[in-house]
């Protein structure tokens, strides 16, 4: 759903960049403009091609929808010496067992609705989940949750902290097939709303 809206816009921007005589300026403006669409004040501080990629450095201000308290906490978390040691989800991350189960069920739901007509092959999905730095306990919980159909009712009463932890992983799971369908879009939107 989301990809169907965004992809044509991206294709247009790619053609614009390919035909521009001022590619760097156009790309810098495009990045800032696209982040501006979601309320993020961003400035590109560095942009340079590296092999087959483009290295971009950003300076980002407080998003419009972010209150001062949350922004202050984000900055403090980033300043913490432990902020980059673990980008995955560990079952021990200060969560009650019921919250861990809820996260596992939510992620299982995302996996199930990604292609409702197709049977889930655990070894295949496990490889993708391992790449997200999920620990063995969380993987085991997701595997168990996948054995039964998870209900969309799970999304009706999601704790804000659970939603905040689940959302970034849910986005990655939804993008496993490079497309976001209406079920995934609804789930992601609901998690995003629950975080606010």
Query: Model confidence over 105-120: pLDDT tens digits?
Result: 999 999 999 887 788 8
pLDDT the model gives residue 112: 93
Tokens coding 196: 């606010």
Query: Model confidence over 134-152: pLDDT tens digits?
Result: 888 899 999 999 999 999 9
pLDDT the model gives residue 92: 44
Which is more confident, 10 or 172?
Answer: 172
Query: Model confidence over 22-67: pLDDT tens digits?
Result: 888 888 888 888 888 778 888 899 988 888 889 999 999 888 888 8
Question: Cα–Cα distances in Å, from 130 out to 92, 133, 175, 181?
Answer: 17, 5, 15, 23
pLDDT the model gives residue 110: 93
pLDDT tier for residue 4 given thresholds of 50, 70 and 90:
low
What mean pLDDT, rounded, does the chain reach? 83
Residue 122 has pLDDT above 80, yes or no: yes
pLDDT the model gives residue 2: 53
**Could you give the percent of the chain with pLDDT greater than 90?**
15
Mean pLDDT over 76-96 rounds to 62
Q: Which residues of 66-99 are buried (b: 16+ CB within 10 A; e: fewer)?
A: eeeeeeeeeeeeeeeeeeeeeeebebeeebeeeb
How is the chain split among helix, strand and coil, in percent rounded to 5? 60, 10, 30
pLDDT the model gives residue 79: 86
Contact 177, 124 (CB under 8 A): no
Q: C-alpha angle 184/186/189, rounded to 5°?
A: 105
**Could you give the percent of the chain with pLDDT greater than 70?**
87
pLDDT the model gives residue 33: 83
């Amino acid at each position: 759903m989301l990809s169907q809206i965004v992809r044509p816009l991206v294709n247009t921007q790619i053609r614009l960049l390919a035909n521009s005589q001022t590619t760097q300026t156009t790309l810098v403006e495009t990045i800032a403009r696209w982040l501006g669409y979601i309320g993020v004040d961003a400035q590109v501080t560095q942009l340079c091609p590296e092999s087959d990629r483009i290295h971009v450095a950003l300076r980002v201000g407080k998003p419009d929808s972010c209150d001062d308290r949350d922004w202050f906490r984000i900055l403090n978390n980033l300043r913490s010496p432990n902020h980059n040691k673990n980008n995955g989800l560990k079952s021990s991350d200060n969560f009650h067992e019921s919250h861990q189960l809820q996260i596992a069920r939510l992620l299982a739901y995302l996996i199930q609705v990604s292609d409702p007509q197709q049977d889930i092959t655990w070894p295949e999905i496990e490889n993708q989940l391992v790449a997200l730095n999920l620990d063995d306990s969380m993987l085991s919980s997701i595997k168990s949750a996948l054995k039964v159909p998870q209900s969309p009712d799970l999304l009706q009463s999601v704790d804000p902290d659970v939603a905040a932890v689940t959302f970034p992983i849910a986005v990655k799971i939804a993008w496993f097939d490079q497309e976001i369908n209406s079920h995934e879009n609804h789930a992601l939107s609901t998690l995003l709303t629950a975080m606010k």
